[in-house]
Homo-oligomer: A and B are copies of this chain.
Amino acid sequence: MSISPDLAEVARNARTASRALAIATQATKDAALHAMAEALVARSDELLRANAEDVARAEADGTPANIIDRLRLTPERLEGMAQGLRDVAGLADPVGEVVRGGVLPNGLELRQVRVPFGVVGMIYEARPNVTADAAGICLKSGNAVLLRGSSSARSSNAAIVTVLRDAVASAGLDADVVQLVPGDTHESVKELMRARGLVDVLIPRGGAGLIRSVVEESMVPVIETGAGNCHVYVDAAADLDKALAIVLNAKTHRTSVCNAAESLLVHADVADAFLPRVVAALQERDVTIHGDDAFTSYEGVVPATDDDYAEEYLSLDIAAAVVPDIDAAIDHIRRYSSAHSDAIVTDDQRAARRFVAEVDSAAVLVNASTRFTDGGEFGFGAEIGISTQKLHARGPMGLPEMTSTKYVVVGDGHVR
């Protein structure tokens, strides 16, 4: 399969635009971000009209109410998008940061410096706010972005990109640093995945199916984001009040997010004390527990299958099991975890140390809810996604994670 002339042209324009953006000053980029924020608010009428088309189409198609809610823009949500752009303007510019540097024994100066990737492709679903978020983060990190949102949001995304491009141009940057991928068929996603050399990095954001297909099929390097089968392990030495609070927070604070807990493991030594409390508290919050034999002895708990332990429910469901010891907990997590965020609740220093060393996930938490794995909570100020791969970036990705580096070597006629 080849690249369509439309995509090739868009990508080439992005490359050209990216070169000027890569050496733009922070002041210029921040001015563009503020202009983008103002434009989203000033032109909210046309954005809401475009969004109403998407919502009407979705309703006519019988789309579930929760999906339509995610699709819908309101003046408040537009203001939120604008504030997100202003927040990005307030962050430090990662481009040009000297990561390490010094003088070599032969007198050569060596510096490793952050530089933009160049052209970033974003493939994402549903929420149109991602369009503005991604454009802002890419612009501040010096990258041109090719946006491929879901077709259900096509009118909204087109309108948002039009508004953002006008604002970018008004600030003196090339509007082609923000572009939509032409076409909204599945073929256009496939093409983007084959645009090696035209696109430097692809970032899929969305459901597990989308991410898996991009990761497996893409010839462009991918940063994998998002899937989260997160565990809370309540150790023998846990403070059970804290354990209860953490389980409830991790499971019910927000169920549709990747850092929500999907599995609960309880050490056998505290099962008798903890299970009655956690079962009652979860059920009181309408959580369905899919449990092993120890859990199904409580009323209302349904038996768990192997699939339940592997499931990312993103709903008021949790898989649960009692484990004989911390080794079994770690083994269970190694087998089923998506390596996003896994937590231990314990007051035992040795147990905490073992869990941290032996659970190989993007975030390992001790006595804290899995919900803390988040760019905002980590103080990054903006987040393009949460990487669950080991290459390049792992965990919440802020502005520095949206850059590469290059080595600058300065001599005075040095030869080997």
What does the 1/0 interface line of A357-395 toward B look like (CB < 8 Å)?
A: 110111111111101110001110000000001111011
Contact assessment for B415 and A118 in the assembled complex, using a CB-CB cutoff below 8 Å? no
- What distance in Å separates the Cβ of A336 from its nearest Cβ neighbour in chain B? 13
Which residue of chain B is the closest to A371 with respect to CB atoms? B416
Which residue of chain B is the closest to A15 with respect to CB atoms? B334
Contact assessment for B415 and A379 in the assembled complex, using a CB-CB cutoff below 8 Å? no
Contact assessment for A221 and B391 in the assembled complex, using a CB-CB cutoff below 8 Å? yes
Contact assessment for B118 and A360 in the assembled complex, using a CB-CB cutoff below 8 Å? yes
A390's contact among B221, B239, B363, by CB below 8 Å, is which? B221
Set of chain B residues within 8 Å of A200, measured between Cβ atoms? 390
Q: Is A27 an interface position by the 8 A CB rule?
A: no
Q: Is A104 an interface position by the 8 A CB rule?
A: yes
Which residue of chain B is the closest to A18 with respect to CB atoms? B360
Q: Is A161 an interface position by the 8 A CB rule?
A: no
A367's contact among B112, B389, B405, B412, by CB below 8 Å, is which? B412
Q: Is A409 an interface position by the 8 A CB rule?
A: yes
Q: Is A108 an interface position by the 8 A CB rule?
A: yes
Contact assessment for B413 and A372 in the assembled complex, using a CB-CB cutoff below 8 Å? no
Task: Please choose the segment from A63-71, A172-180, A242-250 that sits at the chain B interface, where 4 or more of its residues have CB less than 8 A away.
Answer: A242-250
Contact assessment for B378 and A410 in the assembled complex, using a CB-CB cutoff below 8 Å? no
Set of chain B residues within 8 Å of A372, measured between Cβ atoms? 108, 409, 411, 414, 416
Q: Is A57 an interface position by the 8 A CB rule?
A: no
Q: With A and B bound together, what is the CA distance between A323 and B364 in angstroms?
A: 55
A406-B364, A409-B368 known; A246 and B378 CB under 8 Å? no
- What distance in Å separates the Cβ of A386 from its nearest Cβ neighbour in chain B? 10
Q: Is A253 an interface position by the 8 A CB rule?
A: yes
What does the 1/0 interface line of A198-221 toward B look like (CB < 8 Å)?
A: 001100000000000001100101
Set of chain B residues within 8 Å of A242, measured between Cβ atoms? 412-413
Contact assessment for B360 and A411 in the assembled complex, using a CB-CB cutoff below 8 Å? no
Set of chain B residues within 8 Å of A221, measured between Cβ atoms? 221-222, 389-391
- What distance in Å separates the Cβ of A26 from its nearest Cβ neighbour in chain B? 14
From A110, A201, A373, A416, name the one whose CB has the most chain B CB atoms within 10 angstroms: A416
Some 29 contacts from A to B, beta carbons below 8 A apart, are A22-B357, A23-B357, A23-B358, A108-B372, A108-B377, A112-B395, A200-B390, A215-B219, A216-B219, A221-B222, A221-B390, A221-B391, A245-B413, A246-B414, A253-B415, A352-B410, A361-B406, A362-B407, A363-B406, A363-B409, A365-B411, A368-B414, A368-B415, A369-B416, A371-B416, A373-B409, A377-B416, A394-B405, A395-B406
A-side interface residues toward B, CB under 8 Å? 19, 22-23, 104-105, 108, 110, 112, 115, 117-118, 196, 200-201, 215-216, 219, 221-223, 239, 241-242, 245-246, 248-250, 253, 345, 352, 356-358, 360-369, 371-373, 377-379, 389-392, 394-396, 404-416
Additional A-B contacts beyond A371-B416, A378-B407, A392-B392 (13; CB < 8 A): A23-B358, A110-B378, A221-B222, A223-B391, A242-B413, A249-B415, A365-B411, A366-B410, A367-B411, A371-B415, A373-B407, A373-B409, A395-B407
Closest 9 CB pairs of A and B: A242-B413, A368-B411, A249-B415, A390-B404, A392-B392, A368-B414, A363-B407, A365-B409, A391-B392
